[in-house]
Amino acid sequence: MSEEIIKQWDSAAEKFAKEQEQSLYANANKKIIKERFKKFNGEKILDLGCGYGYYTDYFKSIGGCPIGTDGSQVMIDIARKKFPECFFEVSDITAQMPYDTESFDMVFSNQVFMDIDNPENVFSECYRILKPGGILYYSITHPAFFNGEWRKDEGENVIGKLISSYITPSFSTNHFWGETGHFHRPLSYYLNMASDAGFTLVHTDEPKVYDGMNKNDDLPLFFFAEYKK
């Protein structure tokens, strides 16, 4: 990962970790993942871009053997303090991963791929370190709608989004927890990268997240994908 991206997440880490525990959108994300993964039996899991360690701890609590890794030292420090029973380490997740070939049963990456600058290599490395039949499971903000601008009707109800650009990749800066980079890429980009790396698509999900009152619940915020090696 570029030094600038890592510095941004180092600066955003404290606020990110605090606000994710209170975010309705983060809770909606957690619900989807907990419905999919309810129990493990000692499977080795890589939580790729683990942030402050929430899912690393969750996978351990349901019987998995997870490793949490992230490019931000500050994030890993928070994770180690928050979840001392879990194992965390700092690594550049866009470079060659420091793990043996065919050593994991699952690679899990939550809301990471749209924030890194070299996802092509990540997919290839995920394929390399997964055992035959292993799972790659990731989620991202939905690229078709994330960058759109909300629009209201005459009654001030938020009814839709104005989308002015989708196909062309671009870069922007988010300001949710401080400045963090965001790489917009169309959905086909991610689907094709996984396919090119050798993965077989198993399932996708575009769940309802918005409440349907303040914001139109027929527009997705997240995209989830599960692949098999």
Kindly report, residue by residue over 38-66, the tens digit of the pLDDT: 999 999 999 999 999 999 999 999 999 99
Burial classification of residue 10, based on how many CB atoms lie within 10 Å of its CB (0-12 exposed, 13-18 middle, 19 or more buried): middle
Pairing outcome for strands 170-174 and 180-184: antiparallel
The answer to whether the CB of 70 falls within 8 A of the CB of 49 is yes
**Neighbouring C-alpha atoms within 13 Å toward the C-beta of 169:** 9
Domain interval for residue 208: 3-228
Can you name the residues that pair with 228 across neighbouring β-strands?
135, 200
Mean pLDDT computed over 138-146: 95
The answer to whether the CB of 107 falls within 8 A of the CB of 123 is no
Least confident piece of the model among 55-59, 124-128, 177-181, 218-222: 177-181
Whole-number pLDDT of residue 110:
97
Q: Domain of 164: which CATH number?
A: 3.40.50.150
Domain count across the chain: 1
Cα separation, 43 vs 65, whole angstroms = 6
- pTM here is 0.94
Predicted confidence band at 177 (pLDDT cuts at 50, 70, 90)?
Answer: confident
Cα separation, 201 vs 131, whole angstroms = 16
Mean pLDDT computed over 104-129: 95
Predicted confidence band at 190 (pLDDT cuts at 50, 70, 90)?
Answer: very high
Whole-number pLDDT of residue 1:
60
Amino acid (1-letter code) at residue 33: I
